[in-house]
Amino acid sequence: MIKLFRNTRRKLLAENKFSKYLAYAIGEIFLVVVGILIALWINTKNQERINEQKAKVILEEIQRDLKKDIEGSKTVINTCITNDSIARLLLRDKLTHDQMFGMPDEMKLFEVIFSSITFETSNNGYVNFNRNLNNIPTKYDAITNELKDLYDIRGAGLAFANERMKSIVFENIDEINNFDWNVASVKSGVPEEGKYYYMQDLGFKKQLLQYLNGTANIFVATELYRRHAVQLHNKISEILSSDTMLPYPGRLNTAQKALAVNNILGTYKLKESRGIALPPIMELRVVDNLLNIRLSKDRQFKYFLYDETTFFNASPLEVRNLNNIKFTKSEPKEFFVAAGKNIYAYYTKIEV
């Protein structure tokens, strides 16, 4: 083909047909440009197919990570519920002496405050997604914000709850190691002084309250992460036209009928507080089917129902929030609310 073009050019020049030669040269240039454009188009299409396949592989990897996290979250949530139940029994003095100290060493229930619960997630797929972000086809732009919301925002909240839980456990361990009797208990079992501490001392009760707050934060952060993970997994399935859909978990709410039956809603007065300025009178209501505390016009908190007496903050990652509300079964009703270490308040219900 090249030899044919060359011979044609020589023939036109030899015959002194410059105008025909010019037209021929332009045509030849046009053919070359068209050839280049076709080659670029083919190369672009090939690259798009490569990028499309790579994006599919990465999204499938993210789905595998999400499934792993969703399964792992179940174990974390079950552990939270178990440890929470044990801590509440200890807090309310519901365990006998034999239940506390008569069981084998591996079943010392009071040691629950030294048990850290954390939820570590998998993000290899998300890391790969970010590395290839410039090559991800635009059709997947809709999923980018969903990924950022789960891994960057929810993930950061979960990491904060994990660190808080670890801090509480480390503080509990450090505090118990300050007692001489704890050293002796390693060799010969818990002495009477230690038994009194675990059954009667207010210091241990405070450790239990802090542990309950840490457990509640882990529970809520894990539950919110799990729900978003399921939603994201199914959205990826829709984008990939896959039928691997996961069932959505049920919605947490306050079960408004339970609130009314238990006489929880109403007006409360401040009984005792430490480290936080709260109003002397506080009203508990239901807003959007969630238990609501309104401190001022622009400051309010909402809570999920956990059991008949306990509520978890629906937004546990806010700064200076009121964490978890725990009601007594006494009459008149009382509740305990905390905003962090050594920051708490007790309220008693009043008739208005």
Residue 10, domain member (yes or no): no
The residue-averaged pLDDT of 210-218 equals 90
Same domain, 190 and 229: yes
Residue 251, domain member (yes or no): no
> Among the listed ranges 71-85, 198-212, 333-347, which one has the minimum average pLDDT value?
333-347
Q: What integer best gives the mean pLDDT of the chain?
A: 80
Q: At what angle do helices 18-91 and 202-239 cross, to 10 degrees?
A: 150
Same domain, 142 and 187: yes
As for how many domains the chain has, the answer is 2
Same domain, 169 and 216: yes
Task: List pLDDT tens digits, range 219-270.
Answer: 889 988 998 999 999 999 998 888 888 887 655 455 555 565 567 888 999 9
Q: Which of 349, 323, 348 has the alpha carbon at shortest distance from 209?
A: 323
Tokens coding 117: 């619960």
Residue 277 has pLDDT above 70, yes or no: yes
- Assess whether the previous peptide bond of 104 is cis (omega < 30° from 0): no
Confidence of residue 7 (pLDDT cuts 50, 70, 90): low
Residue 249, domain member (yes or no): no
Residue 36, domain member (yes or no): no
Q: What was the pLDDT predicted at 21?
A: 47
Residue 173 has pLDDT above 90, yes or no: yes
Share of the chain above pLDDT 90, in %: 28
Q: What was the pLDDT predicted at 65?
A: 95
Confidence of residue 317 (pLDDT cuts 50, 70, 90): very low
- Residues of the domain holding 302: 256-350
Contact 291, 325 (CB under 8 A): yes
Residue 14, domain member (yes or no): no
Task: List pLDDT tens digits, range 12-66.
Answer: 555 555 555 455 556 666 666 777 777 676 666 666 677 688 888 889 999 999 9
Confidence of residue 97 (pLDDT cuts 50, 70, 90): confident
Amino acid making up residue 259: L
Element (H, E) at 268: strand 266-274
Which residues are 343's β-sheet partners?
340
Same domain, 111 and 222: yes
Give me the phi and psi of 350, to 5 degrees please: -130, 155
Residue 24, domain member (yes or no): no
For residue 269, the domain's CATH number is 2.40.128
Contact 110, 90 (CB under 8 A): yes
Same domain, 225 and 261: no
Q: What was the pLDDT predicted at 208?
A: 92
Residue 314 has pLDDT above 70, yes or no: no
Residue 109, domain member (yes or no): yes
Same domain, 218 and 81: yes
Q: How many CA atoms lie within 13 A of 107 on its CB side?
A: 7
Same domain, 177 and 323: no
Same domain, 95 and 202: yes
* Sign of the Cα pseudo-torsion (160, 166, 168, 170, in order): negative
Same domain, 74 and 206: yes
Q: What was the pLDDT predicted at 256?
A: 55
Residue 319 has pLDDT above 50, yes or no: no
Residue 109 has pLDDT above 50, yes or no: yes
